[in-house]
Amino acid sequence: MANQRRAVLYAAGWALLLGACGPALDGEDGEYAEPPAAESPAHDDAVTEEDNEVSQATFGGHIGSALGSPVKDFNSCTANNEWRTTCGSGAAPDMSYHWTVPVTGDYTFSTVGSTYDTVLEIRRRGDTAIVLGCNDDRADGVPTSRVTLRGLTKGIQLLIIVDGYGSSVCGAGKLNINGL
């Protein structure tokens, strides 16, 4: 009986860790779509591969459907380098969050107010190979980042990654999410 209980707890732990917590939400049917081709970083820093593990130091948690400026304050210097973004990351520490679209519509994600040079990438939570948007420095040359996504469907879950530009850039950060 004890071995059976241990096996059930082990299986439940892996299911939770891998995100197998129930049926897919509407619009997240699990079909694979080829992600856009990743561009090489525009700098000479060596790019490390993702290690496909998210440590507690890097995963900031599920922030629900929060909107505001900021929805999350963080310090990336206490994090690890877990993700490689498609638009300019290196070996800098990064933070990641799960967010659920509250209402079908358009949203802007930004790191305005952060004290360091950020890279911001938004992926599908159910298939993190699908990159929905990535930005390293806003159009006005400020070293914070902004991604606007249009037509997001209510209930879709996203993975938001805030990385530092270069190999060791980190600092106090702000994640802002606003509806348009």
CATH code of the domain in which 120 resides = 2.60.120.380
Q: What is the pLDDT of residues 127-140, one digit of tens each?
A: 888 999 999 886 66
pLDDT of 6 > 70? The answer is no
Task: Classify residue 8 by burial, with Cβ atoms within 10 Å: 0-12, 13-18, 19+.
Answer: exposed
Q: What percent of the chain has pLDDT over 70?
A: 65
144: pLDDT confidence band, cut at 50, 70 and 90? confident
H-run or E-run covering 106? strand 105-110
Q: What's the domain count of the chain?
A: 1
For residue 105, being part of any structural domain is answered with yes
pLDDT of 159 > 90? The answer is yes
User: What number is the average pLDDT over the span 144-155?
Assistant: 94
Q: Which domain holds residue 67?
A: 56-179
Query: Residue 75 — left, alpha, or beta (φ > 0 → left; ψ -120 to 50 → alpha)?
Result: beta
For residue 17, being part of any structural domain is answered with no
Q: What is the pLDDT of residues 39-57, one digit of tens each?
A: 333 333 333 344 444 455 5
For residue 12, being part of any structural domain is answered with no
H-run or E-run covering 158? strand 157-165
